Structure 1
């Protein structure tokens, strides 16, 4: 019931606005698109998605952040201090998989292990992967994939935003079309109301037969029905337009005043720019289209994953070296393997490599899938561009024909009215000429609207190309 009352309110508002245009608002196509870009929730959502992807890069960089740690502990039983320990450590991961460490450890007590060093001890260490993770590892892969994901997300959100703006602009011109058709039908009603009054007067003077008043009244009723239908279409398109209208506080915009289009269909810049647009699209490199850029960046991510999976075939061979120096002792750095050092060599080799082989095969198959998706998308874009280009050219040529046809019908109606005033024609013939002229005018408006919709499809596709 609430929805029904809202529709009735909108209907009444539009009707009152049309009768009293001085309290109405006007909106151009540029103003409307600007509102959608800046305030529509979906447009804002797409922008937020890009920010999320950018934050993922920051998150991946965190894998290379130095880590500072500390430890403080003591064990005491029956008055015996087993140990007392203070430790501070800094770990620094690097881009090439090498980990650097530095620490200071103080240890004292009566029950220490034989391998423990009493007192203060400085330590500097390095861990180097000699096979697996030397050329590529998970940390580098995550950061690279996050960068590719940002570009992929930006491409995807650009395509989605353009789809939203395309739908919005075509909704605007559909609204303009319905308004112009309503104006056309309203004008026909006014003309036929005057014609009926004039026919009644001439009948009263005995200059016209009674059948002419019936003919004029029938024509008027027909146009009134068409006017009501056109008005209803205008109301519906106004509701469709309202779905794109939002305020800066993300609240839905409710109509409190009547709105009208300030642009006319035939005043659109599309009629003068379409040839230049076609040339620009034809000269653009299709590989720069964001729909394809999405798949290219996805390919980079999958290729990064393949490189990472390849590392699983390599044996894990890590070399670790630590240099020690006791507190208050002079450091003796060289030779490295002479005194105050610790080193280790760790080797792990998977025997059957089944998990590695399966994961690597999956990575390769995903790359092949994405390659096929890219080929399909490329073909789809080529077809759409060709289709929209042909539609624009064809509709523009039809508009020229329809314009000449409309001019002819207007001349035929004028000629018939002259003959009627001279007593050489009938009201029936005038009505017949008028009906054909009104149909021609409506078809002319519809053709202009079809042209604009095809032009917008081509225009917003062109907007998807990199600058």
Structure 2
């Protein structure tokens, strides 16, 4: 009789403990039934619209195009004018007016010049003296040696246009890098959520078993020690549940770093948001997809594109430096007229014709060309460095893609085995439960097999998360992003 009373009091005690635990756990459910799925595709849409780093990357091409516009400024027409007059002692010493419109031309590096000069006065230099109506000139300045094929302004413009491609490749690189980091954070959140869900299921199973064992302890069908063991299992799983809950909160905060609205204000991931469910179904990447990624990366990988654009830029620089080895021979000529407008009536002797002209010739040539030859040699060396770097980088890109693909294949094989292991472990647990009901097993074995099953399911979710991260890494190393 005393033994039955003892068992009754012990059972009542454990029943009270169960009620307390169940009440506390009711407040620890991670996500409500009205949870909303926040898929990776939804995240990508938000990121590419509102993420500040993505917007910042787009500024790279804008800056490069601004440099192109700046380089085009070397071909802008230039209008200049000069005026000077001196009166002293009732005499006009000079009255000078000079104006010129200079239009740089792309062809042959020539300059078109249209000018008007009026230089009068008693002390005006006879070489520049004009009539009271002034003198109009239309002419060209053409480099026949250095600068005929390419000059500094054409070299600068060509290189700035090439740098637009470089900036676009850098933009793609930054976007790919940003998205790769975001995708990893998403799958870390996925794993933290699935881990918490599975841990919560374990807590609920342990609590139900504790309730059943406590009831059987009260009526004397089970020993009190079974209730103690069931209660210890509840405690262990509750501790793990609280730990996983914190991990989920931290994962949610990390993912929130990438959420912004259209006004540039930061957003937080709602607590009722849950990641998409995969159920062990992952995207299969075949050999054909691998070959496509490798082939595309060889042509479009941002690092390789950047190296090629650097090489193209150096090709332009090399052509310019080779041009600098030529002697400088500039010839200029202008046809002259005293007319001040197209409708003016000017005698033929003072109008535009071959007898009224002004010509000039400029020649310069450094005897040793050491500066020019040294600069050309430096450019050639840099071009060789780019070629070697491109060769090595191309090989590394290809091998990095294949390395990620191999890791992906390994994950896929492990997932297949793990899925089957989970099914087998579930069968073992069911068999152990049947044996327990027949009195041929113990609560310890039940808890052990159940704990093992929960751990295996958590490991499966970890593999799924790792697989998805490796898949994102595969596309990142291929210089692109995964399409949905």
**TM-score (norm. length: structure 2):** 0.87
Counterpart for residue 200 of structure 1 = 214
Please, what is the CA RMSD of the aligned residues? 2.3
CA contact (8 A) 2:35 2:274 kept: no
Q: Distance in 1 between the 2:332 and 2:311 partners?
A: 36
Name stretches of at least 5 consecutive residues in structure 2 with no aligned partner. 1-25, 340-345
Counterpart for residue 277 of structure 2 = 264
Counterpart for residue 412 of structure 1 = 428
CA 1:285–1:427 in structure 2 vs 1: closer, same or farther (change >3 Å)?
A: closer
Q: Distance in 2 between the 1:141 and 1:69 partners?
A: 25
Instruction: Determine if the alignment matches structure 1 residue 357 to structure 2 residue 369.
Output: no
Instruction: Give the CA deviation at 1:460.
Output: 3.6
Q: Distance in 1 between the 2:104 and 2:357 partners?
A: 21
Instruction: Give the CA deviation at 1:367.
Output: 1.1
1:141-176 superposed Cα distances (whole Å, 9 cap, x missing partner)? 111101110001101110111110111112111101
CA contact (8 A) 2:35 2:272 kept: yes
2:157 counterpart SS class: helix
CA 1:377–1:56 in structure 2 vs 1: closer, same or farther (change >3 Å)?
A: same
Query: Of 121, 126, 148, which residue of structure 1 is paired with 2:162?
Result: 148
Q: Distance in 2 between the 1:43 and 1:459 partners?
A: 18
1:310-369 superposed Cα distances (whole Å, 9 cap, x missing partner)? 2222111111112211233336555x3xx2112121111112222112211211121122
Query: Of 391, 395, 415, which residue of structure 1 is paired with 2:411?
Result: 395
**TM-score (norm. length: structure 1):** 0.90
Instruction: Give the CA deviation at 1:185.
Output: 0.3
When Rg is computed on C-alpha atoms for both structures, the one with the higher figure is 2
Q: Distance in 2 between the 1:20 and 1:402 partners?
A: 27
Query: Of 194, 197, 212, which residue of structure 2 is paired with 1:180?
Result: 194
CA 1:27–1:79 in structure 2 vs 1: closer, same or farther (change >3 Å)?
A: farther
Query: Of 137, 148, 170, which residue of structure 2 is paired with 1:134?
Result: 148
Q: Distance in 1 between the 2:42 and 2:182 partners?
A: 12
Counterpart for residue 427 of structure 1 = 443
Counterpart for residue 92 of structure 1 = 103
Mapping 1:27-426, distance limit 5 Å: 27-95=38-106, 96-115=108-127, 116-119=129-132, 120-254=134-268, 257-266=270-279, 270-272=282-284, 277-284=289-296, 286-327=298-339, 328-330=346-348, 333-334=352-353, 336=354, 339-426=355-442
Q: Distance in 2 between the 1:50 and 1:292 partners?
A: 18
1:380-431 superposed Cα distances (whole Å, 9 cap, x missing partner)? 2112110111111111111111000000000100110111011111101111
Instruction: Give the CA deviation at 1:267.
Output: 7.5
Q: Distance in 2 between the 1:414 and 1:16 partners?
A: 30
Q: Distance in 1 between the 2:176 and 2:166 partners?
A: 16
1:82 counterpart SS class: strand
Q: Distance in 1 between the 2:391 and 2:297 partners?
A: 15
**Matched length:** 447
2:135 counterpart SS class: strand
